[in-house]
Amino acid sequence: MNAPAAFGAPATSLPSTRETSRPREKLPLEIALEALEGRFRTQILWGLFWGARAFSELMRNVPDIPKKVLRRELTEMERLGLVDRVVRPGSNRRAEYSLSPLGRTLRPLVGAMYEWGLLRLRLERRLHRAFGGPLPVSPDVRLDDECPGEARPSEG
């Protein structure tokens, strides 16, 4: 025997809101992160910022990327409107990849990520020299702070 429904409610279940509502729109940050997601996507973009590249050239310029992954990433980037693919005339199905106008708008963002990476690398190297190994970076460590054991440039 089934248990009676609580408070006189019918025993049938209501449809879930997921079934009846429209899917929500993506937030702007979600869209931006989708364009840059994955281990290799920013490296592929970085290579294409300097001009059109053949698939084989991208393979050489993106460290440790498997051929299958590069093909999948380029296809997805083309689907997102970030990359244009042009088959070279007279070649044996050889394609050349370049950034679309939308893809070129990512240059300041990826450039800022590159600059941040340089700052982080510099800080890690300073900490390694000063303390003999990697340390977690505290938010109160500033890049212009003097590290113990670090020679300060002479002021001329």
Domain covering 26-107 assigned CATH 3.30.60.50 in the classification: no
Q: For a pLDDT cut of 70, what percent of the chain falls above it?
A: 71
Average of pLDDT values for 117-122? 92
Band the pLDDT of 130: cuts 50, 70, 90: confident
Q: Which amino acid is at 1?
A: M
User: Does the pLDDT of residue 114 top 60, yes or no?
Assistant: yes
Residues 6+ apart with CB under 8 A from 5: 11
Residue 126 near residue 147, CB atoms below 8 Å: yes
pLDDT at 8: 54
Q: Output the pTM of the full model.
A: 0.67
pLDDT at 150: 46
Average of pLDDT values for 10-18? 56
Measured in Å, how far apart are the chain's first and last C-alpha atoms? 93
User: Does the pLDDT of residue 109 top 70, yes or no?
Assistant: yes
* Phi, psi angles (nearest 5°) of residue 89: -65, 140
pLDDT at 149: 46
Alpha helices in 3-91 (DSSP H): 17-20, 28-36, 41-48, 55-61, 67-79
pLDDT at 92: 76
Residues 6+ apart with CB under 8 A from 52: 86, 96, 97, 98
111-140 burial string, b = 16+ CB within 10 Å, else e?
eeeeeeeeeeeebeebbeeeeeeeeeeeee
Residue 60 near residue 106, CB atoms below 8 Å: no
Give the closest residue to 144 by CA, choosing from 122, 129, 118: 122
pLDDT tens digit sequence for 55-83: 999 999 999 999 999 999 999 999 999 99
